[in-house]
């Protein structure tokens, strides 16, 4: 069992070493993670495409595999490593908002669903032109909402963080 990392609000005297992770750092970390997942998906997509010869079943299977890989990656890294690869590269970590403890599986799942559910729906209905387009726009609006709530929060907790009771912190720069 790892010791919980203190959050800036809960750490008292040691809080000077951690600050709330800001939106630009979190966005760059997410982009790094998305690239990692995309590379894995491309490596899986090529053999699946060859085997399926472009059938509708390919789209369904690939969608399910992609969802499982994305969910597994984020939930596993948040709950076992306290950070995704992108977060680690930028010196960030995620913990329980109240005490800094490692996220529980429930928190990881709730956070993943809060971030990804609209995008998952949009991808599922992407082939249905009008519905897919509307859901794609709704997913984009949801993403903007999450960024907005993160940027406006004094603790940099977006709606997804509040929903899952999580907080992302970053090592403070020494002057």
Alpha-carbon torsion (64, 123, 139, 131), positive or negative: negative
The verdict on residue 2 lying in a domain is no
Phi, psi for residue 152 in degrees, rounded to 5 = -80, -15
pLDDT of residue 22: 94
The verdict on residue 23 lying in a domain is yes
Contacts of 35 (CB under 8 A, 6+ apart): none
pLDDT of residue 82: 96
Predicted confidence (pLDDT) per residue in 76-94, tens digit: 999 999 999 999 999 999 9
Cα–Cα distances in Å, from 126 out to 42, 53, 59, 122, 130?
19, 20, 10, 6, 9
Q: What percent of the chain has pLDDT over 90?
A: 61
The verdict on residue 10 lying in a domain is no
Q: Residue 168 burial (CB < 10 Å; 0-12/13-18/19+)?
A: buried
Predicted confidence (pLDDT) per residue in 5-36, tens digit: 444 544 333 445 889 999 999 999 999 999 99
Question: Residue 168 in contact with residue 20, Cβ under 8 Å?
Answer: yes
The verdict on residue 3 lying in a domain is no
pTM of the model: 0.83
Integer Cα distance of 57 and 48 in angstroms: 10
Average pLDDT, the chain: 86
Average pLDDT value for residue range 130-137: 88
Query: Residue 147 is part of which domain span?
Result: 15-171
pLDDT of residue 45: 82
Predicted confidence (pLDDT) per residue in 38-61, tens digit: 999 889 888 877 776 666 777 777
The verdict on residue 126 lying in a domain is yes
pLDDT of residue 20: 94
Best-predicted range by mean pLDDT among 37-51, 100-114, 120-134? 100-114
| Number of domains the chain contains | 1
């Amino acid at each position: 069992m790892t010791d919980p990392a203190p959050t800036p609000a809960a750490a008292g005297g040691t809080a000077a070493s951690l600050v709330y992770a800001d939106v630009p750092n979190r966005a760059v970390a997410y982009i790094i993670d998305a690239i990692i997942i995309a590379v894995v998906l491309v490596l899986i997509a090529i053999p699946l495409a060859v085997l399926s010869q472009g059938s509708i079943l390919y789209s369904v299977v690939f969608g399910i595999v992609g969802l499982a890989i994305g969910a597994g990656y984020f939930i596993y890294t948040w709950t076992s490593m306290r950070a995704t690869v992108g977060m680690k590269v930028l010196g960030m970590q995620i913990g329980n908002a109240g005490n800094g403890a490692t996220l529980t599986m429930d928190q990881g799942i709730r956070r993943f669903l809060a971030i990804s559910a609209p995008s998952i729906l949009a991808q599922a209905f992407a082939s249905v032109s009008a519905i897919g387009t509307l859901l794609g726009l709704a997913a984009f609006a949801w993403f903007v909402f999450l960024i907005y709530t993160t940027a406006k929060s004094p603790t940099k907790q977006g709606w997804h963080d509040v929903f899952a009771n999580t907080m992302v912190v970053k090592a403070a720069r020494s002057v």
